[in-house]
């Protein structure tokens, strides 16, 4: 099982030095990926959790590509309806090219109604729009020559194909845990990338995805979840988020995910406390603890 890190591209603790420090620390410790989140307009519903400064997703990843050598770079997740799919296809393909084929395309739908309004997109049709955006992006990445696409909401003609470095395309990790997200994963995803707040519903969701994929004649998508990273000195009560607790509890959570077939786990150190995001040393220390005492990162196994 591989492990990656969600680095924070927003809030009072975010600046170029911090972003670079997280990416280079993760790479030096042997982690396999660094991923960042995606917002475009910091509106009233977005601001309490994701305030300015907010570093643009693709610009930041392209910059980090030039500052790292091995670690994979990705989105957790790109909100598909926020940009025209031709633009997203180009931005993501460019990051893949600039990084030498290290890009992971995590995708989702988002739920900030006022952000949708600012960007002129229909919040009430966001699922349909996300599906069409993803299909259009895949068409642009895999076609030869030019591409035309006609859906209910996405339409364009005669656009030159945009080739990423990875062929046929970068891995697509589909976020979300709704029925629609599971269908999207089964139909279009290479991996399911939910934010896990409990381990209980995972088996049923994976069974649903695999059954739907089999019915479509597609390989079963991989399981690549994101969990909290909040290592405490003392054990926490049973009702806790996966990844939050004493080191032994976090290890147990990771072992459960390994048994469930996770091929990659993204660790997210953001607890919602914006002031705590200034304490990068604490976050880096948690990564070191896992790398030195729990995870054998080079062998993708456990210590």
Write down the domain spans for the chain.
1-75+283-303
Average pLDDT, integer, range 216-227:
99
Percent of the chain with pLDDT over 90: 99
The pTM for the full model equals 0.98
**DSSP notation for the chain:** -EEEEE---BSTT-SHHHHHHHHHHHHHHT-SEEEE---SS--TTTTTTSPSPB--HHHHHHHHHTT-SSSEEEES-EEGGGS-HHHHHHHHHHHHHHTTS-EEEEEE----HHHHHHTT--GGGHHHHHHHHHHHHHHHHH-SSEEEEE-SS-EEEEEE----SSSS---EEEP--SHHHHHHHHHH-SEE--B-S-STTHHHHHHHHHHHHHHTTPPPPEE--EEE-EEESSPPPSS--TTEEEHHHHHHHHHHHHHTTBSEEEEE---S-TGGGG-HHHHHHHHHHHHHHTEETTTTEE-
Burial 8-23 (b: 16+ CB within 10 A, else e): bbbbebbeeebbbbbb
The mean pLDDT of the chain is 98
Residue-wise pLDDT tens digits, 270-300:
999 999 999 999 999 999 999 999 999 999 9
pLDDT digits (tens, 9 = 90+) for 81-117: 999 999 999 999 999 999 999 999 999 999 999 999 9
């Amino acid at each position: 099982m591989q492990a990656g890190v969600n680095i924070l591209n927003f809030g009072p603790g975010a600046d170029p030095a911090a972003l670079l420090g997280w990416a280079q620390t993760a790479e030096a410790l042997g982690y396999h990926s660094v991923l960042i989140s995606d917002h475009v307009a910091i509106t009233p519903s977005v601001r309490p959790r994701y305030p300015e400064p907010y570093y643009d997703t693709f610009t930041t990843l392209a910059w980090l590509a030039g500052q790292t050598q091995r670690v994979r770079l990705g989105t957790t997740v790109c909100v598909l309806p926020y940009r025209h799919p031709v633009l997203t296809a180009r931005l993501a393909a460019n990051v893949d090219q600039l990084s030498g084929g290290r890009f992971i395309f995590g995708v989702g739908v988002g739920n900030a109604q006022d952000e949708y309004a600012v960007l002129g997109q229909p919040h009430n049709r966001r699922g349909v729009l996300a599906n069409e955006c993803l299909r259009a992006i895949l068409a642009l990445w895999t076609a030869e020559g030019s591409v035309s696409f006609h859906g209910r909401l996405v339409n364009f003609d005669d656009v030159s194909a945009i080739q990423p470095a990875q062929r046929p395309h970068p891995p697509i990790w589909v976020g979300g845990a709704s029925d629609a997200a599971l269908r999207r994963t089964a139909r279009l995803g290479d991996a399911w990338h939910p934010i896990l707040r409990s381990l209980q519903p995972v088996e049923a969701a994976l069974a649903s995805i695999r059954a739907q994929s089999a019915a479509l004649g597609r390989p079963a998508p991989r399981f690549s979840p994101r969990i909290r990273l909040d290592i405490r000195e003392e054990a926490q009560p049973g009702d806790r988020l996966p990844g939050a607790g004493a080191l032994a509890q976090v290890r147990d959570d990771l072992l459960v995910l390994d048994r469930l077939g996770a091929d990659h786990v993204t660790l997210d150190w953001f607890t919602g406390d914006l002031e705590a995001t200034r304490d990068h040393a604490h976050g880096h220390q948690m990564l070191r603890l896992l790398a030195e005492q729990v995870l054998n990162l080079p062998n993708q196994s456990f210590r």
